[in-house]
Every structure is written in structure tokens, then in C-alpha cells.
A and B are shown apart, each in its own frame.
Chain A
Amino acid sequence: MASFLQLLVSGLATGAIYALVAVGFSLLWQTSQTINFAQGEFVMVPAFFVLVAMHTLGLPFWLAAIVGIATAALVLGVLFKRIIVDQMLRHGVLPLVVSTIALSLFMREAVKDFYSAQAQPFPSLVADRDITLFGVVFSAQSLALLVVAVAIVAALHIFLQHTRFGRMMQATAQNPTVARILGIDVERMILTTFLVNAVLCAIASILISPIYLAKFTNGETLGLAAFVAAIIGGFNQARGAMAGGILLGVLDNLCAAYMSAQYRSAVPLILLVLFILFRPQGLMGRVEERTV
């Protein structure tokens, strides 16, 4: 039982990260039909912004973290939207998919060539301590990670559901044409989602890098996990992406412990296929009208 609890808590911490990344992913999808294949790299890169701010500019960690988040908002939010998404969206989904694939390659190679191919140690927000509760050992780091991630998604949820601005964003996400007719500044709403996504990714980056270590390959598994979590949870709901991420993290651990470690990465994918076949709207998604 203690080991089960242990697995559950570890899985929750990993899942919370997937959730953070998946929420941003599904927000982009909703407002602008952007399937961002570089989402994993969006999490990998901000850690290097922070490292550059610390080591090149000599800033203290907390300031460097703020600089990192701000840079991410500018580069991965505004510039990404203006330079890449806006150019391609009018041509449809495919050119954008290809561009984000190329972008992910670009980001990986750039970090490798201009920073380092080696994993870099990254300062932690919380002291590296273990806490024992009910016979289960928690690391302070993963607890903090869990708390922060849940808090952020909850805040985002409240923002989307209970503020005027948030509801306008939702309206944009659900039907841009109608939103425009209703007088909502759709452009601004879409830009905001890109900013929100970039900030979420940057926060995830700062949370995980002490554990993952900053490395140019970090985005590969993370991006895929976010993608799967978003679909399982229901592509059109931020709440669903959260649930999907956490489900994924917990399942991964339970499967590795009680089923097959060699096939641990298969479980979420099989789950994904089952969802597509039997519950295509996802865990919490709305039913979309069928196309074709």
C-alpha cells in the first residue's frame, strides 16, 4: 500500500507537468487551430534563457527566472505568433504543422550548437529535502511542483470561466466568427492565448529543470506527452488537458511497476487509441459536430 501511494504521488508530480504543458497546447489549438509540434521545445528553451541570464548577465536566480519568463513570452508567444503562425494560418493547418516540426528541430539544434550538448545543472526553487508522511517519502521538489502546477491550472480555469476577459477568450476559442460579430477583439484574444501558452511553458521549464536538468533533448518526450494528454483529456477543454496530463503521469508509474517496464510508453498510446474509438471527445471535451 505504501508503495502504491509512493507511485501515486510521484506520478501526480510528473502528471502535473504534463498537464501544464498540455493546457497551453490545447489553448493554442482552440483559438487558432495551431497543432504545435514544438511544444516540448517551448518547455526546453526557457531554462536556457534563465541560464543565459544568470551566467552571462550575472543576475540572481529569481531575477533571471523573471527575465526567462518574459523572454519566453516575447519570443515563444508574440514572435512565434507574428512571424510563424500569422503567416501560415491562412493557408491551413498543414504548413503550420510542418513549420512547427521544423521549428522544433531549429530550437534543439540552436541550443546544442550555441549553448551546449551537455546536461546543465539548474538551480531549484525549493531545497532538495525529503518529507515523510504516512510511511511515504515525498521530495519537497516534487511536492512544490505539484502544488504550483495545480494552482496555476486552477487560476487559469477561474480566469477563463469567471472573468469577462476569460469568457471572451473562450468565446473566441469556440467560434471566432460569432465572437467577431459580437464585437470581441478576436486578434487580441488569440495573442493572449499565445502569451499564456508561452508563460505556462516557461513556468513548467523552471519547475522541471532542477529535476530533468537543462538539456537540448528534453522537449522530445515532453512534447509527445503533452500532445497525448491533450487528446485524452479532450482537445477543446483546458480542464480536460489537466486531467489527461495527470492521468498520464500516474498511469505511467503504475504500469511500469505492475505491468511491463519495456512497454511503459505504450500504455498512454493505447489509451489514446481507445479514446479515439470510443470517446472521441476526450475525457472532458464537448462533442464536436462531425466533419465530413
Chain B
Amino acid sequence: MSLARILGLLAVLIAVGLLIAAPTMLRSYGVYLLALWSVTTIAALGLNLTLGYAGQISLAQGAFVGIGAYTVALATAAGIPYFVAFLGAGLITFAIGWCLGYPALRVQHHFLAFVTLAFSTLVFLVLRNEQWLTNGIYGINDIARPKVFGLSTNRNPDFYYFALGMLALFAGLQWWMLRSPWGRAFVAIRENPLRAASLGIDVRRYTLMAFAIGSAYGGFAGALYAPLVQFIEPNSFQLTYSLKLLLIVLVGGAGYFIGPFFGAMIEILLPEWLRFTQGYYLLIYATLVVILMAVCPKGLVGAVALIAERRRKPPGRAPGPGGTLDPGGATPGPTGAASASHSR
């Protein structure tokens, strides 16, 4: 057992080492993509909290990224220091998430999905139409990259390290959160909302909290997106972007802490890997997603965990106290919970 732990630690260290060493091995383009991956992963981590842990479908994560990006772009242009704007982006999206989730979670199940769907289109319309504030359809250009500890991040490798650091910070934060009493409440709710409620957990408040924190992760990701691309426009944050993030989380494996890392990697690097297919990579991507969902609805990490579990345990044995990461499928996962509450 302890060997596995050592191996695990080693593997994580290797992965981190590779990520840190990446700029010396890659050219400018690869480094830019990895920075984009870091930013996307933060947004997906947030959605994973809402979807994978609290079992709520949000179709507005892309809109929250947009709000974060615009907050930072407008605030830094007005002379507000980057890190103040960065915090502001998180706070604003947290508040909006709370206000949006509050009424939606009061009523029936799945209505959060519909409300967030409407919200993401409304955000696009406001970004496009209120030109006095957002410069409308033209977007905002020449967004400055921040100075971190007095160091410029204008070069791609420097910004990449900044984004990677932020990813580590937010991932660590979520790791800690999920192991706090709070996080255990999330899991309890997902596994069995009725039992959780009977144990005195305020289901609605925790679900709302998960959604608001998830939204704030989107806002923070946006705050990194704006200086990374240095140009933002309303089109980038339409419903399609939210759907893309949803796909990332589910392809990676909803409810698995490291799912979003893999989902985002597939989404961003797959076009690169499939370049030999010319223009058909989107077709192939779509097909792969459907096949993955049919074969292993718990996503990539879910598939790996399932194989690992099968090899380790004789079939039929009850799953251990792994809680959130229970891969066997014996306990209803997030998807199971969602469906269970639907069959009348």
C-alpha cells in the first residue's frame, strides 16, 4: 500500500517536473498552448465542483470566464492594479453565481441548467450591446500582461509560469476544500441527498456554495485569459464555450479531482494530434466523445480508475471508503444521482 503511495507521489512529481521543464523543451507555440491549458483547467475545476461534486448542471461557466476577463481588462485599463482586478473578478463572479443560483435552486431540479443557459446568452448580449462599457462587438485589444513580483510576464514562458502557479494554487485550494468538513458535506449530498439532509446538512446552501465557488473559479480563469490572449470579444464567451467546458469536465471525468486536467488537455491538444486528418478533426473529436460516453460515462479518469479497480479487487467486493473517488460505480456517482432524482 505504501509503495502505491510512493509511486503516486513520484508520478505527480514527474508530471509537475515536466510541466515546469516544458518551456525549455517546447517552442513558443507549445508554451502558449500549455498556458491556455492551465487557464482552461482552472475554469473546468470550478465547473467540476458544481457538476461533479454538487451534481448541478451549469451552462454558464463560459459566461463567468467572460465576466472575469472583462472585469480585468476594463479595470486594468482604468489603472487599477492587476491583482486587485484579479480578486475583483473572483468576487464579482462569486456574487453573481450566488444571486443566480439562489432562486434557481429553490425550485425544481435541473432548473439551474435552464437559468444558466438563459444567463449565458444574456451576458453575451450585454457584452455586445453595451458598447459604452465593453467596447461592444469590437472587443478589447492590447490588454497588458501583469507584473508578478516585479517581473514582467510579457514573454510566453513567463506568463506560462504565472498561469501554472495559479493553477497549482487553485487546484491546491480545491484539494484542501474537498477534504475539509465542507467538502465532505458536498460529497455526502451528492451520494445521498436525503440522508445528508437527515444528518442536518443544509443541502440547498451547500449546493449553492458549490455553484458560487465554481463560478468564481470561472471568474479567476477569465482574469488569466484576458492577459494571456491580450484580446477579448463577446463571441468568445457564448454558450458554445460553456458547452465546451461541460464537455471538458465530462470527458475528463466529472467528480474526479484530476478529471479537468485531462479533459482540458484533450480539448486543447487534440486538434494538434489530429492535424494529419486535415479538416476532419472536429468530426473525429465528436465521434470520440460519443464513444467515450457510451463505453465509459465516467470519463477518462473514470475509465482508468475502473480498470485499476478491476485489477486490484476481485469482482463483487464492496467498494472501500474511498468516498468521492469511488470508481467501482456501486455507489451512484454524480450522473447516477442526477438520473435517480429524475425517474419519478
Binding site for B on A (CB under 8 A): 33, 37, 84, 87-88, 91-99, 101-103, 105-106, 109-110, 113, 174-177, 224, 227-228, 231, 262-263, 265-266, 269-270, 272-273, 276-277, 280, 288-292
Instruction: List chain B residues, Cβ under 8 A from A92.
Output: 297, 335-340
The chain A residue with its CB closest to the CB of B344 is A175
**Interface presence of B266 (CB below 8 A):** no
Instruction: List chain B residues, Cβ under 8 A from A280.
Output: 107-108, 111
**With A92-B297, A273-B118, A277-B107 given, is the CB distance from A263 to B125 under 8 Å?**
yes
**With A93-B339, A262-B129 given, is the CB distance from A113 to B283 under 8 Å?**
yes
Instruction: List chain B residues, Cβ under 8 A from A177.
Output: 343
Instruction: List chain A residues, Cβ under 8 A from B343.
Output: 33, 176-177
Instruction: List, sorted by A's number, 5 A–B pairs whose CB atoms are closer than 8 Å.
Output: A93-B110, A95-B297, A98-B289, A273-B115, A276-B111
Whether the pair B336, A91 counts as a contact (CB closer than 8 A) is yes
Extra contacts, 8 of them, besides A33-B339, A97-B246, A292-B203 (Cβ < 8 A), are: A93-B339, A102-B290, A105-B282, A109-B280, A177-B343, A269-B122, A277-B107, A288-B108
The CA of A288 and the CA of B341, in the complex, are separated in Å by 12
Instruction: List chain B residues, Cβ under 8 A from A113.
Output: 279-280, 283
The CA of A110 and the CA of B281, in the complex, are separated in Å by 11
The CA of A292 and the CA of B110, in the complex, are separated in Å by 11
**Interface presence of B45 (CB below 8 A):** no
Among A99, A110, A263, A276, point to the contact of B290 (Cβ < 8 A): A99
The CA of A262 and the CA of B126, in the complex, are separated in Å by 9
Instruction: List chain B residues, Cβ under 8 A from A272.
Output: 114-115, 118
Whether the pair A95, B335 counts as a contact (CB closer than 8 A) is yes
Whether the pair A88, B103 counts as a contact (CB closer than 8 A) is no
**Interface presence of B226 (CB below 8 A):** no
Chain A nearest CB from B282 CB (Å) reads 5
Chain B nearest CB from A261 CB (Å) reads 10
Whether the pair B103, A277 counts as a contact (CB closer than 8 A) is yes
Interface centre among A228, A263, A272, A276 (most CB of B within 10 A): A276
For the complex, count residues of B whose C-beta is within 8 A of A.
51
Instruction: List chain B residues, Cβ under 8 A from A292.
Output: 109, 193, 203, 341
Instruction: List chain B residues, Cβ under 8 A from A262.
Output: 125, 128-129
Chain B facing A: main interface SS: helix
Among A84, A91, A106, A176, point to the contact of B335 (Cβ < 8 A): A91
**Interface presence of B201 (CB below 8 A):** no
Instruction: List chain A residues, Cβ under 8 A from B1.
Output: none
The CA of A8 and the CA of B290, in the complex, are separated in Å by 42
Among A33, A101, A288, A290, point to the contact of B243 (Cβ < 8 A): A101
Chain B nearest CB from A58 CB (Å) reads 28
Whether the pair A91, B283 counts as a contact (CB closer than 8 A) is no
Chain B nearest CB from A52 CB (Å) reads 18
Whether the pair B290, A84 counts as a contact (CB closer than 8 A) is yes
**Interface presence of B334 (CB below 8 A):** yes
Chain B nearest CB from A94 CB (Å) reads 4
Instruction: List chain A residues, Cβ under 8 A from B290.
Output: 84, 99, 102-103, 106
Instruction: List chain A residues, Cβ under 8 A from B344.
Output: 174-175, 288-289
Chain A nearest CB from B284 CB (Å) reads 9
The chain B residue with its CB closest to the CB of A288 is B108
Instruction: List chain B residues, Cβ under 8 A from A227.
Output: 117
Among A99, A110, A266, A269, point to the contact of B289 (Cβ < 8 A): A99
Whether the pair B283, A99 counts as a contact (CB closer than 8 A) is no
Among B107, B109, B115, B122, point to the contact of A266 (Cβ < 8 A): B122
**Interface presence of B67 (CB below 8 A):** no
Among A97, A266, A273, A291, point to the contact of B57 (Cβ < 8 A): A97
Whether the pair A99, B336 counts as a contact (CB closer than 8 A) is no
**With A94-B254, A94-B334, A269-B122 given, is the CB distance from A103 to B107 under 8 Å?**
no
Whether the pair B342, A93 counts as a contact (CB closer than 8 A) is yes
Of residues 89 through 147 on chain B, the ones whose CB sits less than 8 Å from some CB of chain A are 103-104, 107-111, 114-115, 117-119, 121-122, 125, 128-129
Whether the pair B114, A98 counts as a contact (CB closer than 8 A) is no
Instruction: List chain B residues, Cβ under 8 A from A269.
Output: 117-118, 121-122
Whether the pair A291, B341 counts as a contact (CB closer than 8 A) is yes
The CA of A289 and the CA of B344, in the complex, are separated in Å by 9
Chain B nearest CB from A31 CB (Å) reads 12
Of residues 313 through 344 on chain B, the ones whose CB sits less than 8 Å from some CB of chain A are 334-344
**With A277-B103, A291-B342 given, is the CB distance from A94 to B57 under 8 Å?**
yes
Whether the pair B247, A102 counts as a contact (CB closer than 8 A) is yes
Instruction: List chain A residues, Cβ under 8 A from B251.
Output: 98
Whether the pair B286, A103 counts as a contact (CB closer than 8 A) is yes
Whether the pair A266, B293 counts as a contact (CB closer than 8 A) is no
Chain B nearest CB from A182 CB (Å) reads 15
Whether the pair B286, A95 counts as a contact (CB closer than 8 A) is no
Whether the pair A88, B280 counts as a contact (CB closer than 8 A) is no
Whether the pair A291, B108 counts as a contact (CB closer than 8 A) is yes
Instruction: List chain A residues, Cβ under 8 A from B221.
Output: none
